[in-house]
């Protein structure tokens, strides 16, 4: 066994009934659990790969044990991916993992918007929530308002999960006439192409985050 498969075996066999790697994997399937950590900070519990941003949950149908793993391990080890009880194959497996990601982000956004709307009882927030539920994205005006209010209210949220629509001319005009501070508020939610559009409309990107200066050397 290679070092890689030894690590995988050491992680999965104690949680499986079969003690043969290829058979043990057949006991496992992807659940609908998925976490987008927004930054590459997690570890695959199967192969120990670090710097993972997305973790998917897999569960063993016999032992009921669970692991949080990267999508590449799911695809590499052919862990079962199901849709409404039907086993998927080929590209459909990847598509399903992508859908889980989209759905996770959508649910996270709705949960933070609901908390904000309940806390502030503001018509504009309720309208933004209804708009997001219907379209699964926000207009630039809604996005700037919502992201600002979420941070002021200190409600946990993930700015990069919100999608902003810039297709209509009206949306572009709204972005163009926005104050720079508002543009910077919605910046994390913009795709790289949308950021280029914002720059073409005359805005500047936000300054890079200021890093803390290094600690002075200990005095002797």
Residues making contact with Zn ion (CB under 5 A):
44, 46-47, 49, 70, 73
Q: Between 8 and 164, name the residue whose CB sits nearer to Zn ion.
A: 8
CA separation, residue 175 to residues 25, 159, 162, 207, 216 (Å): 50, 17, 16, 19, 43
For Zn ion, the nearest residue by Cβ is 44
Least distance CB 65 / Zn ion (angstroms): 16
β-sheet with 28-36: strand ranges across:
28-36, 54-60, 66-69
Q: Between 73 and 186, name the residue whose CB sits nearer to Zn ion.
A: 73
90: helix, coil or strand? coil
Q: Which neighbouring-strand residues pair with 59? A: 29, 66
Q: Which structure tokens are listed for 194?
A: 């949308």
Q: Between 76 and 135, name the residue whose CB sits nearer to Zn ion.
A: 76
Least distance CB 47 / Zn ion (angstroms): 3
- What is the rounded distance in angstroms from the CA atom of residue 76 to the CA atom of residue 91? 13
Least distance CB 36 / Zn ion (angstroms): 16
Q: Between 93 and 149, name the residue whose CB sits nearer to Zn ion.
A: 93
Least distance CB 165 / Zn ion (angstroms): 35
**Contact between residue 53 and residue 42 where contact means Cβ atoms under 8 Å apart:** yes
């Amino acid at each position: 066994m290679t070092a890689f498969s030894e690590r995988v075996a050491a992680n999965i066999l104690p949680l499986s009934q079969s003690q043969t790697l290829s058979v043990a994997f057949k006991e496992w399937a992807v659940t609908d659990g998925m976490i987008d950590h927004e930054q590459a900070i997690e570890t695959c519990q199967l192969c120990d790969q670090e710097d993972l941003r997305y973790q998917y949950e897999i569960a063993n149908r016999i032992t009921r044990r669970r692991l949080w793993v990267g999508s590449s391990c799911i695809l590499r080890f052919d862990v079962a991916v199901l849709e409404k009880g039907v086993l998927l194959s080929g590209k459909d497996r990847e598509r399903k993992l992508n859908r889980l990601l989209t759905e996770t982000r959508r649910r996270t956004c709705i949960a933070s918007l609901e908390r904000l709307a309940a806390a502030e009882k503001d018509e504009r927030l309720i309208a933004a929530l209804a708009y997001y539920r219907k379209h699964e994205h926000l207009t630039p005006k809604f996005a700037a308002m919502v992201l600002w209010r979420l941070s002021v209210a200190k409600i946990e949220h993930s700015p990069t999960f919100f999608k902003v629509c810039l297709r209509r001319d009206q949306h572009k005009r709204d972005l163009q006439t926005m104050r720079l501070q508002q543009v910077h508020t919605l910046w994390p939610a913009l795709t790289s192409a949308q950021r280029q559009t914002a720059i073409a409309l005359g805005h500047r990107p936000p300054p890079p985050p200021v890093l803390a200066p290094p600690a002075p050397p200990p005095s002797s």
